[in-house]
Amino acid sequence: MNPTILRRVQKVLLTLGMVVTAMCLVLIVACFRNDAEIEKHKATVTADVVYADRLHANAYFQTPDGSVHSPRLGLLYPTELTAGQRIRVDYSTANPDLAKPTGRTAVLSIVPAVSVAVLGWIVVGALMLGVAEFSRRWGRRRAALRTARDE
pLDDT in tens, the chain (151 residues): 788 899 999 999 999 999 999 999 999 999 999 999 999 999 999 999 999 998 899 999 999 989 999 999 999 999 899 999 999 999 999 999 999 999 999 999 999 999 999 999 999 999 999 999 999 998 888 888 888 887 7
Nearest-Å Rg of the Cα atoms of the chain is 25
Contact 6, 76 (CB under 8 A): no
In a 13 Å sphere around the CA of 81, the CA atoms on its Cβ side amount to 29
The C-alpha atoms of residue 103 and residue 71 are separated, in whole angstroms, by: 18
pLDDT digits (tens, 9 = 90+) for 54-73: 889 999 999 998 999 999 99
The C-alpha atoms of residue 138 and residue 10 are separated, in whole angstroms, by: 16
pTM to 2 decimal places: 0.83
The C-alpha atoms of residue 24 and residue 116 are separated, in whole angstroms, by: 7
The C-alpha atoms of residue 91 and residue 47 are separated, in whole angstroms, by: 11
The domain ranges of the chain are 3-143
Output the pLDDT for position 8: 95
Output the pLDDT for position 112: 95
Output the pLDDT for position 127: 97
Output the pLDDT for position 149: 81
- What totals of helices (H) and strands (E) does the chain contain, helices first? 2, 5
